[in-house]
């Protein structure tokens, strides 16, 4: 049986640029860098991002962008500061999708290798409660 999420891996052209993005935007802590020793397919680094193991490996970037993304939870009070850090690194932010009131706010941004990230203030429980409330309102 599945016990939980093990790790997330991103393939990137520039390990140092991705290190900057992960540490400065997501508050990641670098825990391993392969350097000249490559135990995997290519040079790699491991990070802890809010208790999630994130691996980055050197390689060719994604050929195009999509809505596939990884979302990290942030506090609503940190929303503006996170947006400012993303802007300071020159990363492209995508306009937020339309939302119903009460499901949280999101910042969507792309790294240099076409990966999309989301920083989201809400929780699954809040979203489901809001959707249930919306159905009740629509039925009236």
For residue range 8-17, list pLDDT tens digits in order: 999 999 999 9
- Distance of alpha carbon 125 from alpha carbon 140, whole angstroms: 23
Fold equal for 1-59 and 61-140: yes
- Best CATH choice for the domain 61-140 from the list 3.60.21.10, 3.30.565.10, 3.10.180.10, 3.90.1560.10: 3.10.180.10
End-to-end CA distance of the chain: 42
Domain ranges of the chain: 1-59, 61-140
Q: Which two tokens stand for residue 23?
A: 């540490």
CATH number of the domain at 1-59, please?
3.10.180.10
The angle formed by the CA atoms of residues 2, 10 and 58, to the nearest 5 degrees, is 135
Task: Please check whether residue 108 is in contact with residue 69, taking contact to mean a CB–CB distance below 8 angstroms.
Answer: yes
Q: How confident is the model at residue 134 (pLDDT cuts 50, 70, 90)?
A: low
What is the chain's Cα-based Rg? 17
pLDDT 10s digits, 52-70: 999 999 999 899 999 999 9
Mean of pLDDT values over 73-80? 94
Q: Which of 14-18, 33-37, 98-102, 120-124 has the lowest mean pLDDT?
A: 98-102
- Distance of alpha carbon 58 from alpha carbon 116, whole angstroms: 17
Q: Which residue is catalytic, options 3, 44, 92, 118?
A: 44
Active site residue 140: no
For residue 138, pLDDT beyond 60: no
Percent of the residues in the chain that have a pLDDT greater than 90, as a whole number:
67
């Amino acid at each position: 049986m599945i016990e939980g999420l093990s790790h997330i891996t991103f393939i990137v052209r520039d390990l140092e640029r991705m290190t900057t993005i992960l540490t400065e935007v997501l508050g990641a802590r670098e825990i391993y860098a392969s350097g000249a020793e490559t135990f995997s397919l290519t040079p790699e680094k491991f990070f802890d991002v809010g208790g999630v193991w994130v691996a980055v490996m050197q390689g060719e970037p994604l050929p195009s962008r999509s809505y596939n993304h990884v979302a990290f939870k942030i506090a609503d009070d940190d929303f503006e500061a996170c947006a400012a850090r993303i802007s300071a690194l020159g990363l492209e932010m995508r306009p937020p999708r339309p939302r119903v009131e009460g499901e949280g706010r999101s910042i969507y941004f792309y790294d240099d290798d076409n990966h999309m990230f989301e920083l989201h203030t809400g929780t699954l429980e809040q979203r489901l409660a809001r959707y249930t409330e919306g159905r009740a309102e629509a039925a009236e």
